[in-house]
Structure 1
Amino acid sequence: QMMKEEIGETFTSMKIHPEEETHGKLQQTSKQQAMERHQT
């Protein structure tokens, strides 16, 4: 039962802040690309 509630809470918070999640992922990707460019 606890597991179900925890997963539900995580899912709800993800639904509340989808823009923040996407923005964070985009920032991580651009950071990785910058690092790759720096190496070459």
Structure 2
Amino acid sequence: MEEEMEETFTSIKTCMEEKTYKKLQQTSEQQALEKHQILSFGRYV
């Protein structure tokens, strides 16, 4: 029983970390995209 709980906890933790990592990745990609848009917008003006 103890071992099962430990395994479940570990997999939940891993899942949470992956979600956090994906969220961070998306955020930095979005920021890069926004920066790029701002830069290209600056060229047009």
CA RMSD, Structure 1 to Structure 2 (Å): 1.8
Q: Which runs of 5+ in 2 are unaligned?
A: 1-7, 39-45
TM-score if structure 1 supplies the norm length?
0.59
Deviation at 1:27, TM superposition (A): 0.3
TM-score if structure 2 supplies the norm length?
0.53
Higher relative contact order (CA 8 A, sep 6+): 1
Identical counterparts, % of pairs:
63
Deviation at 1:21, TM superposition (A): 0.4
Report how many aligned residue pairs link the two structures.
27
Rg larger for: 2
Query: Which 4+ residue blocks in structure 1 deviate beyond 6 angstroms?
Result: none
In structure 1, the partner of 2:19 is 21
